[in-house]
Chains A and B, each alone.
Chain A
Amino acid sequence: MKMAARSAKGATLMKYMLLMNNMTRSDVYAGVSGWQQQDIDVHIEFMKSVTSSLRQSGELLSTEGLEVPDHAVVVRAGKNGEPVTDGVFPEAKEFLAGYWIVEVADAERAYQIAAHASSAPGPGGAPLNMPIEVRRIARPATGGEVNLT
């Protein structure tokens, strides 16, 4: 267990996960491959700028983008602990496209960052205003953080 990080002013920082979690196949975002090349380039530049500005402000802990879920499966342990796979689910209605983990002073700052990412440009440069789910990273009642490791 680690103690919570503090800002330069001594405020306790909070970790949030910003999830691009409600993407659909019909969603313009999932259809990036159908966009004009220039629109894709502008979109990717914007996403890179989101990451680099969070890195500069020291708020970024990690970020990843996921492949479209064409090969995604759900795994459960069988009777003897062996993997039992289920899927692929090509009809999955909503899926996770990627996420950022940030460490910020308060929820409002996390919402600001999420709104900025939400406004990523789509076709013709118009903002997508895509939904970004904001979830806090778990902590035990004793303070510090729940760590799955």
Chain B
Amino acid sequence: MTKPGRGVSQNHEIRSDDVRNESDFRLVLQLVEGGPAGEHGHMRAFGKELKDSSVLVSAQGLGFPGAAKIVRAGPNGEPITDGVFPESKEFLAGCWIIEVETVEQAYKLAARASATPGAGGERGSIPIGVRRVLPGAPLA
């Protein structure tokens, strides 16, 4: 596990009501993609920045949802698959898990990812969901 991020500049004001200000503060930045794929150079530079500032826990890009299935357990626990859902409007394109000291840091980083240039190299404005990871996750 990486240490909570220290390398990211903190020129934002930390308010006393910043209830999220805990030492082990993991967040998922969800890249929700509805349009064309972003520009990979920007994403790579952003990924490197996260890594260099030691806030990055992990990062994944997902394949297009053209082959995605929904799976449920059948009566005997066997997999029952449903899908593909080619018409789904919004889908998860990837995510970053970061460890930071405040949620404002997470928002700043999410904005950096959001600005990934799109078609024609214009500054993008991709929506990035920011969710907190459960401390002491029951999955683990």
A residues adjacent to B (C-beta < 8 A):
17-19, 21-22, 44, 47-48, 50-51, 62-67, 69, 71-78, 81-86, 96, 98, 100-101, 107-108, 111-112, 114-116, 118-119, 127, 129-139, 146-149
- The majority secondary structure among interface residues of chain A is mixed
Known contacts: A67-B133, A138-B63. The answer to whether A81 contacts B123 by CB under 8 A is: yes
Q: Cβ of A77 and Cβ of B123 under 8 Å apart? A: yes
B residues adjacent to A (C-beta < 8 A):
20, 26, 28, 30, 32, 43-44, 46-48, 50-51, 56, 58-63, 65, 67-74, 77-82, 92, 94, 96-97, 103-104, 107-108, 110-112, 114-115, 123-134, 137-140
**In-complex Cβ contact of B140 among A51, A67, A148 (8 A):** A51
**In-complex Cβ contact of B92 among A21, A84, A130 (8 A):** A21
Q: Cβ of B107 and Cβ of A83 under 8 Å apart? A: yes
The interface residues of chain B lying within 8 Å CB-to-CB of A81 are: 111-112, 115, 123
Known contacts: A76-B127, A138-B63. The answer to whether A115 contacts B78 by CB under 8 A is: yes
- CB proximity of B40 to chain A, nearest CB, Å: 8
